[in-house]
Each structure stands twice: as structure tokens, then as C-alpha cells.
Amino acid sequence: MPPGLRRCAAEVVGTFCLVFAGTGAIVVDDTHPGTVTHVGVALTFGLIVLAMIYAVGDVSGAHLNPAVTLGFAAAGRFPWWDVAAYLGCQLAGAAAASVALSAMFPDHPNLGATLPKGPVARSVVMEFVLTAVLMFVVLGVSTGAKEKGVLAGVAVGAVIALEALFGGPVSGASMNPARSLAPAVVSGRLDHLWVYLLAPPLGAGAGVLASRIVHGPRPETES
């Protein structure tokens, strides 16, 4: 298979696993109250990202997140002409995961969609800051546009679990437009979806700026 198709396949599979495991943990905890818990959901998101970085990081970079792909491109580490393909693959993988969960749990009201808990403005700020921190860490531990290696897996997985622990009760701690869009569309819960489509990419941009200030420019674009 050509390298470009392998990278696309890796993003589809990786994002499918992320959304299936992460939102699946939410659905299972709702269906069987107290079996997973909020801490368990946060750890599930962190662990599945860690696992996917090890599994497909050498192939596609394990972006698994449109905000991260846009951040890598803005940082000069990923070609802009490949952005659309990555975003399409991430959305396809996320949609497939939500469709699978819908078939398994047809009565669940939102399939683990992210929804603000409290003032919407608070969720906007939370998603912006969480994604900025995530992008800052990703850029600090990645090589070019690839999240790979022991440090990348542990650091990125840990920061996602950490942010989900304290940010989840406020905004759902999405940090990922694909992770929010798929369950919202499949379940029909589109209220406040704009928060999770707008704030993470803006936060990723802030993370890129912070990385440039701290580390200086490191253009390492990889095709």
C-alpha cells in the first residue's frame, strides 16, 4: 500500500479506537452506573491515546485529532496540502466508532457527546486552555509531525488523562473536534457543538505560539 494511504488508514483506525474506547467508557458508565467512574473515563482516554501513539505513531504520527493536525501545520511541521486528508480520515474513524456504539447501545441519549456543564463561556475557556496545554506538550515531545517514542506516548497520554480528570466535569474535556462531532451527529445532540469545533483549534494555535516562545521555531515538516 502506498505510504499516503497507509498514513490515512492509520488515522482512521487510531481515531476509531480513541472514540470507541473513550466515549464507549462514558456510555458503559451511564448504562452500568459506577462501574467505570469519572476517573476511569479519564484514564481510558489517556491510555487509549498512549496505546495508539505506540501503535501508529511511526506511520501517521498518531494525530487522531483535527486540532493537533492543524497545530502541526501551523507550526510548520506538517504540510498544509495533507491537512484535509488527515481531517477527513479522523472524522471518518470517529463517525464509525459512534455508529458502532449506537448499534450496541441504541437507547443511549448522546453516545458520550461533550456538553457544557454550567455556563457555556466557561466551557469555551476550558476547551481553549486544555487544548493549548495539550498542543504545547505534543510539540515538545514529538519529532516533526510525529508523536512517537516512549516519551511522547507517556507524556501525551498523561496530559490527556490529567486534563480529563479536572476538565471533564466542566466541559467534557474534548480537546478534539472529531471526538465531539461524531457522537453529537450520530445521536442528534447538536446543541453547543460549536464550542467543541471552535475552541480546540484556537487553543491549538495558542499552544503553537507558546511553543515558539519557549522553544523557538523548529520547522521540521514531514510529508
> pLDDT tens for residues 22-63?
999 999 999 999 999 999 999 999 999 999 999 999 999 999
Count how many domains the chain has: 1
- The share of the chain scoring above pLDDT 90, in percent, equals 90
The confidence score (pLDDT) of residue 56 equals: 96
What mean pLDDT is predicted for residues 170-182? 98
- Taking residues 195-219, what's their average pLDDT? 93
Residue 80 belongs to domain with CATH number: 1.20.1080.10
Could you tell me if residue 222 is inside a domain? no
Q: Tell me if 221 is assigned to some domain.
A: no
Domain assignment of residue 65, yes or no: yes
- Structure confidence at residue 85 as a pLDDT band (50, 70, 90): very high
Alpha-helical runs (H) found in the chain: 3-31, 37-60, 66-74, 83-104, 120-141, 150-171, 177-187, 193-215
Residue 146 is given by DSSP the state B
- The pLDDT value given to residue 223: 42
Q: Does residue 112 form part of some domain?
A: yes
Q: Per the domain annotation, does 95 fall within a domain?
A: yes
Q: Whole-number mean pLDDT of the chain?
A: 95
Q: Which domain holds residue 81?
A: 3-215
Q: How confident is the model at residue 83 (pLDDT cuts 50, 70, 90)?
A: very high
Q: Look at residue 140 and tell me whether its pLDDT is greater than 90.
A: yes
Instruction: Examine residue 43 and state whether it is found in any structural domain, yes or no.
Output: yes
Interval 102-114 mean pLDDT: 97
Residues 96, 202: Cα–Cα separation, whole Å: 26
- Averaged over 118-141, what is the pLDDT? 97
pLDDT at 65 over 70: yes
Residue 48 lies in a domain: yes
| Arithmetic mean of pLDDT, 79-89 | 97
Q: Is the pLDDT of residue 222 over 70?
A: no
104 belongs to a structural domain: yes
Rounded Cα distance between 18 and 155, Å, is 17
183 falls in which pLDDT band (50, 70, 90)? very high
Question: In angstroms, rounded to a whole number, what is the distance separating the alpha carbons of residues 21 and 2?
Answer: 28
